[in-house]
Amino acid sequence: MLLAFNTIITEKYKGQFDNLTLPKITKSFPYEVIHLNDPILETFSADETIFSKYTHLLVSGSSLSASQGSVYDKIIIKIIQYFLKNNRSILGICYGHQMIARAILGDSACRKTKIPEFGWKKMEIKENPLFNGISNPIFLESHYDEVCNLTDDFTIIASNNDCEVQAMQYKNLPIWGTQFHPEMGYNEGSQMAKDHIVNYPKDKQYYTNDLTDETVINQNFIIFDNFLGVR
């Protein structure tokens, strides 16, 4: 069973992740979802075994900053480390990707990026089980932070000109992070990018749209099939 850790703090996008994104990307794979401030997090802090039934952990993106930290750092890192030490599969998206790096390497593994990224961008990917069935991808980007200072225990499996660590794998284990958002379809991804530019007009200078055919986005969901082992 998958534990989906929804770390989103904006109510609109938190609900969208629960009600639209999770059913779409999990298909028939069973899952349960938790949120920041859920009482179960306090229970987990006292008794980690309550999460023993989960085989996979998905950590969502968030408008929280991994480089600046927040009051939620301790519990997020504790949950990631529980899945690490129990040899469970983990996938982190954007903020979740950055927090996996911090959970393993400490605070020095994340920093503010020199060039923020927003919009649909081409990606260079390497051959990796996470990307089986994917070619010449374009993913949604939305981030101010980035992973850095990785050790040899990590393999960088995707990058572009603006961010070296667009995706990573830890020790050839089923532990991955993606800086980009593979969970976003064309409509919701484009709306999220549009909303961001409306709210933060100065970021328009960083907006990119490499899409010429929106159907190319459909292959991005294969990442979750590969992670969960479903078809």
Single out the catalytic residue among 94, 110, 148, 163.
Answer: 94
Quickly tell me which residue has 């009051």 as its tokens. Answer: 71
Residue of 141, 183, 188, 196 marked active site: 183
Is there a catalytic annotation at residue 183? yes
Q: Which of 56, 97, 143, 181 is catalytic?
A: 181
Residue type, 201: P
Whether 163 is catalytic is: no
DSSP, collapsed to helix, strand or coil, labels residue 153 as coil
- Per the annotation, the verdict on 148 as an active-site residue is no
Separation in Å, CA 106 to CA 99, 130, 147, 151, 171: 9, 25, 11, 12, 17
Query: Are 113 and 144 a contacting pair, CB within 8 Å?
Result: yes
* Separation in Å, CA 71 to CA 76, 112, 119: 10, 18, 29
Q: 56, 63, 61, 110: which is closest to 79 by C-alpha? A: 56
b/e per residue 49-69 (b: at least 16 CB within 10 A): eebeebbbbbbbbbebebbee
Measured CA angle at 60 (ends 88, 198), to 5 deg: 165
Question: Which residues are marked as active site?
Answer: 94, 181, 183
